[in-house]
A and B are shown apart, each in its own frame.
Chain A
Amino acid sequence: MSDNLISVNNVSVNFDYQENFISKKQKIHAVNNINIQIKKGSFFGLVGESGSGKTTLGRAILGANKISSGNVIFHDDDRNYDLTNMNKQDLKEYRKKAQLIFQDPYAALSPRMTVRDIIAEPLEVMKITNSRQETDEKVRDIAAKCRLNIEHLRRFPHAFSGGQRQRISIARALVSNPKFIVADESVAALDVSIQADILNLLKQLQSELNLTYLFISHDLSVVAHVCDVVAVMYLGHIVEMGPSRELFKNPKHSYTKALLSSIPSIDPEKRSEAIELKGEIPSALNPPSGCAFRTRCPNPGVDCKGGDIKMGLTEVEPGHWVDECCVI
């Protein structure tokens, strides 16, 4: 039996793109040749700017995006699921075991359904429970775990604040008793005080229910706080990956360094030490050759400037991987 719950092997995701019906078909390389192993019971963080392919990778792992090449293996207790080669029956099984929590708790909940119906829907759709009584029991159980008031189950989502709504989304994701959760920017829309509450809840549920998380976020301080392992993405590539403390204490890649320095410091006397990155993330339609980051790199080497170095991760310390271009 493997320690890993998810193995992502050489996964690429491309989208077809055609500007208008007479122009040439192009490919958008959203995710390029990604290898990650997510250990059972870990809190795996994925950070990067918008457009770096975080969400696409998360969705690919859930089977919600088509994988163009490579494969994703989900190691269950008794069997392995290969996502690229799955029949309908398996996909249904997999959906019970892997769930998604969305970013915006206002958009994710139907305004016309009561909280009870929202949480119960996955159970009914996946035919997990057989009677209404059983469904109600499960709903009440998970609602209590997510610290929702049982009396609130009859209300509609509009009556709740952002933090409470996010707890409802979490309850819905967890009701089918999944093992793997993708949390896509799940605290980005919340105020700091509520954000702390939801993060603590996710942590607590992890140990209670034996969950493994893929936590997607653009906020490095949040990721540093909750995640065990972090991968930094840029333009569809992982540029650095490692245990979160090691990675944040000792970042090797210039992109990670720049991201870390861009976090506004809470100390008014430490103003503006940010390594300012010029410009913006290039289009995935026309990515730079060689190192994807070279067009914005603050201190590019001679070799990588020309785009001659291929991208690929090298292990610099046990478990700490950095893109080759920045190691040299």
Chain B
Amino acid sequence: MSHLLEVKNLDVKFDTDEGRITAVENISLSVDQGEVLGIVGESGSGKSVTAKSIMKLNPGNTSYNEDAEIILDNENVLQFTSKQDLKKIRGGKVSMIFQEPMASFAPAIKIGVQMVEQLLIHKNINKDEAKSISINMLKRVGIADAEKRFNQYAFELSGGMRQRAMIAMALSTMPKLLLADEPTTALDVTIQAQVINLIKDIIKEYQMGVIFITHDLGVIAQVADHVAVMYLGSVVEKGPVNDILKNPKHPYTKGLLAALPDINNLDEPLKPIPGNIPSPLDRPTGCVFRTRCPHHNPEGKDGKIKMKLIEIESGHWVDQCGIKCGQHE
């Protein structure tokens, strides 16, 4: 069976004044139709860079490795160079929702105009049709007075409303894959709950594949079917959401879970992961997590174990160094 999206052995490097930075190394992921893949990790772990690679939205100083493949709908996105091809993925087959909806809408153009504009680019329809699709979509995401909102500017909407409008805009072209980059991080919990439910309903209704990026494991538990945990550009553990959150194997995944304040368990002290995430300029050799790993697996500590995901249960993959460290507890 072929997946909707398959990322194979992807490296992403940036050339900067200080040298070549490895932002993402050897990542392989897949998303099926109607499936939500959650990507978690701290800032700087390469979550957004991975998502942007799928739309080729990374800046000009980016280089991808030769043998990497991003197969979307049986086409390798990384081979796309012509404007025509890129248009197909950017907003056509793939749409993206960003964290800060205020920054994603043009401030001086009415929301409706922006929605219609992108529909006209991607669909073979006229303005009136585009308008009615847009208004229906605004209604679908739960915006009251959709006709009125259609003629307003982004600053006239509240945060939750703006995020809904953003979702409506991303969905109106009926993409096959939705990239949601921290879509609920800037929202209050009550609004977050609304937006999560909305996204879940919509996935069910339209059967699209979703990559949901967040640093909040609670949100992941609520929306994702599969999870990939990233650290410093590498996936250290991936698998079905239940396995990852209830039976984590990698010390980093365990560390993230232990650091999370749990309202049902107030007696447990908060355990931070010691140390800081290293600069991508001096990325550790071998296991990337070894500089902060609380377990002293001697080979792993020297950086002698290469990073490699091993399937320990069906569908549950853990980095080989992490399996050893995880056993030390």
Contact = CB atoms under 8 A, between A and B. Distances in A.
Interface of A: 49-50, 161-164, 191-197, 199-200, 218-222, 224-225, 245, 248, 258-269, 271-272, 274, 276-277, 280
Contact of B263 (A49, A50, A248, A258): A248
B256 interface: yes
B215 A191 contact: yes
Contacts of A259: 189-190
Contact of A264 (B192, B256, B259): B192
Contacts, number: 124
Given A196-B259, A272-B193, 17 more contacts: A49-B189, A164-B276, A191-B42, A192-B216, A193-B42, A193-B272, A200-B270, A221-B262, A259-B189, A264-B216, A266-B260, A272-B222, A276-B194, A276-B197, A277-B190, A277-B194, A280-B160
B215 A264 contact: no
Nearest to A264: B218
A118 to B, nearest CB: 19
Main secondary structure of the interface of A (DSSP, over half): helix
Contacts of B68: none
B195 to A, nearest CB: 11
B270 A196 contact: yes
A260 B263 contact: yes
B78 interface: no
Contact of A196 (B161, B266, B272): B272
Contact of A267 (B43, B192, B245, B255): B245
A262 B192 contact: yes
Contacts of B42: 191-194
Contacts of B133: none
Given A264-B219, A266-B257, A280-B158, A162 B43 contact: yes
Nearest to A161: B276
B280 interface: no
B21 interface: no
Contacts of A265: 218, 221-222
Nearest to B257: A266
Nearest to B292: A193
- Please indicate which of the listed interface residues A199, A261, A264 has the most CB atoms of chain B within 10 Å of its own CB: A264
Given A163-B276, A200-B270, A280-B161, A218 B263 contact: no
A269 B299 CA distance: 37
A218 B218 contact: no
B188 A50 contact: yes
Given A200-B272, A264-B221, A266-B245, A193 B255 contact: yes
B221 A50 contact: no
A206 to B, nearest CB: 15
Interface string B262-288: 110010011111001100000000000
B241 interface: yes
B217 A266 contact: yes
22 contacts: A49-B190, A50-B159, A50-B188, A161-B277, A191-B43, A191-B215, A192-B42, A192-B215, A195-B261, A196-B270, A225-B270, A248-B266, A261-B193, A262-B189, A263-B263, A264-B192, A264-B193, A264-B196, A264-B216, A267-B246, A271-B222, A276-B190
B242 interface: yes
A164 to B, nearest CB: 7
B188, B189, B192, B219, most chain A CB atoms within 10 A: B189
